[in-house]
A = this chain, B = another copy of it.
Amino acid sequence: MRYLHTMVRVKDLEKSMAFYELLGLKEIRRMDSEAGRFSLIFMAPEGQPECPIELTYNWDGDKGLPSDSRHFGHLAYEVEDIYALCQKLMDAGVVINRPPQDGHMAFVRSPDNVSIELLQKGERLAPAEPWASMENTGHW
């Protein structure tokens, strides 16, 4: 597995980027989605592109989130085999909140409800049961 980023949500992108730039972080990658109406900005210290934060900015705001608790989004890791890992977690009693229906992405929560994103390394895997038809559980 490989650490990818720590995600935090931002309400005011310009103000937030200015803040993180003051700290010394620099934008290393950016994705704007017209369709999804969101932007993802990756910012990292110089020489540490492997340790970025991901700023998630929803153009229309984050509705329905509790006041203070979701500014931190999740920890993200890339994994060798998302099906094998989810099976191992499930066997150990971990709820797969967002199963890898698409062979690409899953979410679980730590015992303290820290949201953790798992992303399949490389190409997404071919759809496979029990994942393809597994329902989502709760939120993450």
Contacts and interface: CB of A to CB of B under 8 A. Distances in A.
A21 to B, nearest CB: 10
B88 A22 contact: yes
Interface string A64-101: 00101101100101010000010011001010000000
Interface residues of A, number: 46
B45 A8 contact: no
B16 A111 contact: yes
A19 interface: yes
Given A22-B88, A77-B24, A16 B51 contact: no
A53 interface: yes
Contacts of A94: 19, 22
